[in-house]
Chains A and B, each alone.
Chain A
Amino acid sequence: MENSKYLIKGGRVIDPETGLDGLMDILIEDGKIASIGNPQSKIRNPKPELIDASGKIVTPGLIDMHVHLREPGHEYKETIETGCLAAAHGGFTAICCMPNTVPVNDNQSVTDYILKKAGSAGTVRVYPVGAISLGLRGESLAGYGEMNAAGAVAVSDDGNPVMNAQLMRRALEYAKGFGLLVISHCEDRNLTENGVMNEGAVATRLGLEGIPNSAETVMVARDIDLCELTGAPVHIAHVSTEGAVRLIREAKARGLPVTTETAPHYFSLTEDAVANYDTNAKVHPPLRTVADRDAVREALADGTIDVIASDHAPHSSMEKELEFDRAANGMIGLETSLPLSLKLVEMGLLSLMDLVAKMSNNPARILKLDYVGLKPGNPADLTIIDPEKRFTVDADTFRSKSRNTPFNGWQLKGKAVLTVVGGKIVFDDQ
């Protein structure tokens, strides 16, 4: 890390960890936060470079705990380098990458490879998520010990549900021994069957096979029960249904170590986005009804949903310019996640403090990262947000290699303008 010094001046600093919310300056030295508040007295020569943050919001670096980087194996969709760059542009200082690469990240070598590539990309921090089962096949446990030693922070078979309840039980138990978080993609594949969008009136009208909410909720119920049985924390990925948030709310009220995330598309869109067979709106779990979207929003507001994560899933035109039922699931999200989430603040559903918690502090705590929030001594990971900046989403300007977003052309307000990782500016649009 270059030995640079920065003084971020005049921004509104918001940090749920310390409870800070006010206009103050932050001094960065040696890649770390040197002081917050009134650091002028602590400034020694050489003088720090000034970053004017007046009118802006300064937050701890945003963390997206659900990203698909596609490398190794599908570099034509995304590489670790382009994914990290997209993250930096979206205001993220750290991301978790899911193991459904080719080969699967189910062993130390792949974890090592990812971290080596991320290191040479030199932008945001990458925390690999290893596989729950070897090859994501849902048959036998992957080597959590060796992956953990190599730097994996969690395990998940994301993209594939763990259909075998006994394997899930043992995964939760075994992961507990390493303090590894288990992230569960909750979907009953038998209930999904050939479904390609939400089951209901829109699917029936379009003649597309539907996926019922139960495909998600029966697995959420199972995993909550297995969490209770094993005492191991479980993190439910990308919740999309009213039933799932209700189950998770109850589980939390009973004190179970269950956490959860949702993605911006689940609180921004409904199944109507599919109405013109738009494959960019094809995603797993599928976009749901207005009632589900509103339940997800309510669960964000009341704290049931801890985390906003993008589930950034890059696909090329080869996977998307197809008949709807043949197109791949997933949408990219790193470069739209924060602006879409800021709409929740605009709508009065979340305070800025809550939003920052869901996009930085909560994921850091759930992942047991050794730094949370803006505290002196922590690595200088922070994001400067211009809350008033209006822009039109233009996928052609994305740093991601892929263009599969249903939000193209949306008018949004508020975005990251500066991203700092370990005292290094990795994105600057000031």
Chain B
Amino acid sequence: MGLSKKDILDIESLSVEEIELILDTAESLKEISTRPIKKVPTLRGKTIVNFFYEPSTRTRTSFEIAAKRLSADTVGISASASSIVKGETLVDTARNLEAMNPDAIVIRHKSAGAAHMLAGLVDASVINSGDGMHAHPTQALLDMMTVREKKGRLSALRVAIIGDIAHSRVARSNTLGFGKMGANVILAGPPTMIPRGIEALGAPFTYHVAEAIKDADVIIMLRIQKERQGGYLFPSEREYAQCYGLTTERIAGAKEDVLIMHPGPINRGVEIAPDVADGPYSVILDQVANGVAVRMAILYLLLGGPR
């Protein structure tokens, strides 16, 4: 069975059942990546365009590998090497891509809503792999897969998401996703990074990291964008690390079997201390491995069945 929808644009538009289906499928496809011959013919003859307006290493590679393991043909476009630099609009780019009849377009874009816009313009399936501060649904799904794999469940877990909530699509998608699956999400960060109206996402927030970490089953640290340093959000990386960074001492407040997660790329010594990132609680590299499985599942569920 497949997903009865054309696109994966955000977590909001996925039901609990659809999320479970994606996670179950990802679990069963994960094994393919451990075989000596890491390829199945499922999506042979399908064309997938990886369209990255923003730089990305992890997500882009992950989608590329996921597609190739399912035998789909992939084409990658990045903004710097495309007609975007020549001033072509997203609408025109979409129409041109559509004319080449791809089966799916994976898009990363700096503008919130860009994936929604693209989805309205093309018949191909659109998979949002990050649109501005809005959504990053495949990241949330791979995070949920990782937690479910380690904990056996998502419901009633305490999940702390810490950092620049305001500018983070990962925070938004994870808050909605874990919340939808019955986890208790708590958000934390300096007040300048907690946006007004955050209650709409359905999770409480605190300005005190220790409070968020207390009894946490899962801690998701968010990347601090270095270019925001010295602006109006926080004074310096040093102070951020001191007041909001995840250190071994701070983890002591969490559950004994806490999972430490990070969507990457990490700023060692800023939002996460190196010994924590490399420490026993860290599942950061499991997240990356599961990323391939989740993306295989999504491609399979969207493109595998008859449409």
Contact = CB atoms under 8 A, between A and B. Distances in A.
B35 interface: no
Contacts of B134: 206-208
B114 A323 contact: yes
A324 interface: yes
Interface stretch (A22-30, A194-202, A351-359): A194-202
B210 to A, nearest CB: 25
Given A201-B200, A204-B198, A321 B111 contact: no
B117 interface: yes
A206 B113 contact: yes
Given A207-B132, A323-B90, A277 B198 contact: no
Contacts of B196: 199-201, 204, 210, 212
Contacts of A207: 112-113, 131-135, 169, 172
Contacts of B172: 204-205, 207
B195 interface: yes
B23 to A, nearest CB: 24
B195 A204 contact: yes
B200 A204 contact: yes
B4 interface: no
B185 to A, nearest CB: 15
Interface in A182-241: 199-210, 212
Interface string A119-143: 0000000000000000000000000
Given A201-B197, A277-B116, A321 B91 contact: yes
A209 B167 CA distance: 9
Interface string B117-147: 1000000000000011111000000000000
Given A203-B197, A204-B197, A205-B200, A277 B133 contact: no
A288 to B, nearest CB: 13
A323 B169 contact: no
Contacts of A291: none
B111 to A, nearest CB: 3
Interface in B151-171: 166, 169
A323 B201 contact: no
Contacts of B89: 321-322
Interface residues of A, number: 21
Contacts of B114: 323
Interface string A310-321: 000000000001
A116 interface: no
A164 interface: no
B249 interface: no
Given A208-B133, A209-B133, A323 B113 contact: yes
Contacts of B117: 277, 323
Contacts of B31: none
B109 interface: yes
Contact of A325 (B132, B195, B198): B132
In the A-B complex, list the 10 residue pairs whose CB atoms are closest, starting with the nearest.
Answer: A207-B134, A201-B197, A323-B111, A277-B113, A201-B200, A207-B133, A207-B112, A200-B197, A204-B197, A204-B195
26 contacts: A199-B195, A200-B197, A201-B196, A201-B199, A202-B197, A204-B172, A204-B200, A205-B172, A205-B197, A205-B200, A206-B113, A207-B131, A207-B132, A208-B112, A208-B133, A210-B196, A212-B196, A276-B116, A277-B112, A277-B116, A277-B117, A322-B89, A322-B90, A323-B111, A323-B114, A324-B112
Given A204-B172, A210-B196, 18 more contacts: A201-B200, A203-B195, A205-B172, A205-B200, A207-B113, A207-B134, A208-B112, A208-B113, A210-B195, A277-B117, A321-B91, A323-B109, A323-B113, A323-B114, A323-B117, A324-B111, A325-B112, A325-B132
